[in-house]
Structure 1
Amino acid sequence: MSNTMRQWRLPQFGRRHLQLEQVAIPTPADDEILVKVAAAALNYRDKLNIEDGSGGLQITPPLVPASDLSGAVVATGKRVTRFRTGDRVLGTFWADWIDGPWPAHALTLGGPLTGALADYVVLKQEWAVHAPATLDDIHASTLPCAALSAWFALVEQGHLHAGQTVVIQGTGGVSLFGLQFAAAHGAHVIVLSGDDDKLARAKELGATHAVNRRKTPRWDVAVRDLTAGRGADHVLEMVGGDNLLLSLQALKQAGRLSVIGTLGEAEIHSPSVPLFLGRPTIQGIGVGHRRGLEDMIRAVDHLGLKPVVDKVYALEELPDALDHLERGPFGKLVMRMD
């Protein structure tokens, strides 16, 4: 094979500074694997990191963007025991978060650590997991961040079960994974969106009800009407700002609110009385650990769950993919390397 590879590099913040360059293929150290990347999924944080670094902690250029990759191991260091050459793998979002509470030293792929937008990536063996057997590389690449965020909120931390009601906000990657996981667990799913076409597609994926939040600004009232006044067991909060109050008012007594996104604004607002009266559990979700990813992959294989991919772009089409990310895809956007 050639000694060089393609790689998107960001020498300083701002999309205009992105550079697709030819660099030497890295060599794995004793505890590392060299992965030939087949596909890399984009997340909204990647757009923020490229623009100004606001999508993560300790992000400073230069960096190779994007955290989520699927590929095959083509070389291993002499101390590697988790993988062999030829194994299909995914990278983990958080390096060194294996299980239990989040360790303060853990860092993320795609900034400040190595990113996925390259033909080859070197990872420590602890930073990777075996890919699902039932998914091709395009679909498998979407799992490490968006899917695990939804899984962690609803299953790992939320203990979701049949008969519960889940409110999903929007139709991006995390939201549609939340819809698919909730439906697979036998929950009733209420999807909110300002786009009737996207709501119709969400119902095809298994949503029980669809509410247009533009036509129904008090969607919390609609949720209570749809649940005979009981309220939702889980709400995935994807907007932030004043929307948090609506989410709290849509919950049942002692329901669970997972704060995952802040697409509206970075701060969240709520008066204290709904907290006193509703007794909710409010949890922040920052993706999840490696053990959770491995649990989720087993579930994906068992269920035959297929991630929703809106569009696949060639590696050199990154500017077009970022434009699409800005518009708001239905599901995930994926960069293919071949």
Structure 2
Amino acid sequence: MALPSTQKKWVIMGQEKGYDELNFTDGPIPTVGDYGVLGTYIFHLHLPIVGGSDGAGEVIEVGRKVTKWKKGDRVTTLFNPGHQSGPMTRAIMRNGSIGGSFDGTWQQYGVYEENWLVRLASNLSYLEGASLSDCGLTAWNALYGLKAVKPGDWVLVQGTGGVSLFAIQFAKAGGAKVVATTSSTSKYELLQRLGVDHIINYSEDKDWGLTARNFTPNEEGFDHILDVGGQETLPHSVKAIKPEGIVTVIGILTGVETKNASILDALLNTCTFRGIHIGSRDQMDEMMAAIDANKIQPVLDKRVFKLEELREGLEYMEARKHTGKVVIEIP
């Protein structure tokens, strides 16, 4: 396959002017070198930089010393390329991420080291695979990274964002019971289709944490809770968690100054508050194997954007017009 000499890409130029800092431009296609892998896409920014951490595509060229991949392989990107296995370390965090410290996936062609890629599950399309590097792996780490979900466990997920929808699918595949919250009755059908056992409308139930706990055997509480809200949701998570359970703090959508829950609650409830930063390459391999074995299909929004429409896609997502993951199809 003869490659062109230039490609289209989105470059983040700065952080002061929001989306106006995004520049859609032409640029050269990088060379693979000895250890690089060239693919096409079907906490700190090193500016200017090509944005985007999630991506999936086909390997079309490999460096002469690459042993893990060959032309034609289907792969996805790893958000934290330094996190190959084991626990997160300060050195790994300093190494940075694809799309933040290293040019990311908002381009037609990208070159990454061979260990920065993960084999795509056989049942997934490239668009589905492009939804996994961040939300998918975060959900997997939350449920299987510290204390793995087992059959009969109870899991509470909040809302219908990307992490929560993946968590529902991964928990059900592991044999768990799942309770989900949402403020939209229009999302009930989706949650039921994914196998959720009980749904709570948190806009109508002001004590939904206690309501959720009442669903569990003997009102004991949940083995795992994925807290995506922070300030407003953590007090509910504290009410719902089981002794020795794990509250994985993933997001701060409602803020960080939590007055009605504190670290003391971890002691009083004998539970674990756990913060995570995506996950490792080994965990992503495990996740892909589970997706393949259970034929899990990511939930994608009905609208797919083109590369040149990326800014429009970001605004669409910010306006919360989407259900499931918003994806960009790159020619």
* TM, length-normalised to structure 2: 0.93
**Could you say which residue in structure 2 is the equivalent of 1:51?**
none
Q: Which moved more, 1:211-220 or 1:315-324?
A: 315-324
CA distance in 1, matches of 2:268, 2:256: 25
**Structure 2 contact 36–66 (Cα < 8 Å) conserved:** yes
1:274 to 265, 277, 281: 265
**Structure 2 contact 46–102 (Cα < 8 Å) conserved:** no
1:273 positional shift: 4.9
| Identity in percent | 32
1:242 positional shift: 3.7
Q: How does 1:153-302 map to 2 (within 5 A)?
A: 153-227=142-216, 228-269=218-259, 270-271=261-262, 273-302=264-293
**Could you say which residue in structure 2 is the equivalent of 1:318?**
310
1:145 positional shift: 1.2
Q: How does 1:318-337 map to 2 (within 5 A)?
A: 318-328=310-320, 329-337=322-330
Q: Which runs of 5+ in 1 are unaligned?
A: 39-56
The runs of at least 4 consecutive aligned structure 1 residues that moved more than 6 Å come to: none
1:244 positional shift: 1.1
CA distance in 2, matches of 1:111, 1:313: 22
Amino acid corresponding to residue 335 of structure 1 in structure 2: I
Correspondence 1:35 to 2:39: yes
1:312 positional shift: 1.5
Correspondence 1:24 to 2:13: no
CA distance in 1, matches of 2:304, 2:114: 28
Q: Deviations over 1:188-217 (max 9, x none)?
A: 111111111113311121100110111012
**Structure 1 contact 6–21 (Cα < 8 Å) conserved:** yes
Assess, with a 3 A threshold, how the Cα gap between structure 1 residues 278 and 23 changes in structure 2: closer, same or farther: same
Correspondence 1:305 to 2:296: yes
* TM, length-normalised to structure 1: 0.91
CA distance in 2, matches of 1:94, 1:110: 10
2:131 to 126, 142, 151: 142
Amino acid corresponding to residue 97 of structure 1 in structure 2: H
Amino acid corresponding to residue 187 of structure 1 in structure 2: A
**Structure 1 contact 199–211 (Cα < 8 Å) conserved:** no
**Could you say which residue in structure 2 is the equivalent of 1:5?**
7
**Structure 1 contact 199–212 (Cα < 8 Å) conserved:** no
1:267 positional shift: 4.5
**Structure 2 contact 153–177 (Cα < 8 Å) conserved:** yes
Secondary structure of the 1:7 match is: strand
**Structure 1 contact 73–88 (Cα < 8 Å) conserved:** yes
1:92 positional shift: 0.5
2:62 to 41, 54, 76: 76
**Structure 1 contact 249–274 (Cα < 8 Å) conserved:** no
Q: Which moved more, 1:195-204 or 1:163-172?
A: 195-204
| CA RMSD in angstroms, aligned pairs only | 1.4
CA distance in 2, matches of 1:215, 1:200: 18
CA distance in 2, matches of 1:180, 1:34: 31
Q: Deviations over 1:270-326 (max 9, x none)?
A: 245533321001111111000000011011000000000013111111122112221
**Could you say which residue in structure 1 is the equivalent of 2:84?**
98
Amino acid corresponding to residue 312 of structure 1 in structure 2: V
Amino acid corresponding to residue 183 of structure 2 in structure 1: G
CA distance in 1, matches of 2:272, 2:316: 34
Secondary structure of the 1:95 match is: coil
Q: Deviations over 1:132-189 (max 9, x none)?
A: 1111101011111111111111022231011111110010111000000111111111
Assess, with a 3 A threshold, how the Cα gap between structure 1 residues 158 and 268 changes in structure 2: closer, same or farther: farther
1:63 positional shift: 1.6
**Could you say which residue in structure 2 is the equivalent of 1:49?**
none
**Structure 2 contact 37–62 (Cα < 8 Å) conserved:** yes
**Structure 1 contact 191–199 (Cα < 8 Å) conserved:** no
**Could you say which residue in structure 1 is the equivalent of 2:73?**
87
Q: Deviations over 1:86-119 (max 9, x none)?
A: 1111111101211012233332111121110100
**Could you say which residue in structure 1 is the equivalent of 2:97?**
108
CA distance in 1, matches of 2:253, 2:140: 20
Amino acid corresponding to residue 171 of structure 1 in structure 2: T
Amino acid corresponding to residue 334 of structure 1 in structure 2: V
